[in-house]
Structure 1
């Protein structure tokens, strides 16, 4: 298992991550990219617990997602059915992340954002714009732009739908769907294809 983990997470994280996987008897499955989530935890019909993590994540995203999902597993073992991202999960997640909060595992460009996020972790790291950008190295996927990078009134494509970028609200951008003329709110770190 160590040689598999080395492909996906920072080298310094392999031993502590492997310890957690063995301690909690994690059934880890690495899967192809899913648009709606980076990973998940579920109880299979057989009663076995399974964690999946997307294979397209960079090492820092993969590790954070892995520990996020292990926290769901541990929370379920300790407390049974509780709110998925409630206080029990937050406490477990914070505790499990402690061994990974060091510059050998996460670069200094990510650590302060990660520490701030862990004060009150949310269901998705993508909701924390600063952490999300730091985890991606501040660079959008090849051929894409972050929505905050494109000019006002620019047309862009997102999930094969054309939108026009509108004004920024407090934390999100209003964008007009050109097909149905409805306004949708986009996180400022959404990655889109700018239409020239």
Structure 2
């Protein structure tokens, strides 16, 4: 398993990840990008457990997502049925993530933001705008902008569809898909290709 993960996570994190997987063995599948989530933990029909993680994440984002999902598994093993991102999960995530808070694993621009996020981790790293900006800076987003950077009313391209940016609703932007006129919620850190500014 660790051989499969080696190309997705920082080299200096491999031994720590291997230690966790030796204590908590399970199936990890690397899958094509899903727009609604970076990873998930679930029980399969035959009552086994597995983690899936998107293959398009940069090595730092992939590692955080992996530990996030492993914390779900550890929480499930210890507590069975509890809130998915309740206090038990938060504690397990913090405990598992702590050894990775290391300048040999994460760059200096991510470390303090990640440490701050871990004080009270949320269901999605996307809820922490500064951390996501730092993580996204290591993506290959050539020619793309983040939705929160675009002026209200801008048109942008996302997955071959054109949208118009609308109002913010809590942490996401309401964006209308031009062709269908349907409204979709976009994470403010979604990387999109701007077409035009238009109030």
Does the alignment reach a TM-score above 0.5? yes
Distance of 1:131 and 1:106 partners within structure 2: 12
TM-score normalised by length of structure 1: 0.87
Secondary structure of 1:195's counterpart equals strand
User: RMSD over aligned Cα, in angstroms?
Assistant: 2.4
In the alignment, the residues of structure 2 paired with residue 187 and residue 114 of structure 1 have an alpha-carbon distance, to the nearest angstrom, of 19
- Aligned partner of 1:10 in structure 2 is 10
The aligned counterpart of 1:28 is 28
| Structure-1 residue corresponding to 2:88 | 88
Structure 1 window deviating more from structure 2 (102-111 vs 174-183): it is 174-183
Distance in 2 between residues matched to 1:8 and 1:140, nearest whole Å: 15
Q: Which piece of structure 1 moves more, 92-101 or 38-47?
A: 38-47
Normalized against structure 2, the TM-score is what?
A: 0.86
Aligned-partner Cα distance in 1 for 2:27–2:181: 45
User: 1:1-196 alignment to 2 at 5 Å?
Assistant: 1-137=1-137, 141-166=141-166, 172-173=172-173, 175-179=175-179, 186-196=186-196
Q: Bigger shift: 168-177 or 52-61?
A: 168-177
Distance in 2 between residues matched to 1:117 and 1:189, nearest whole Å: 16
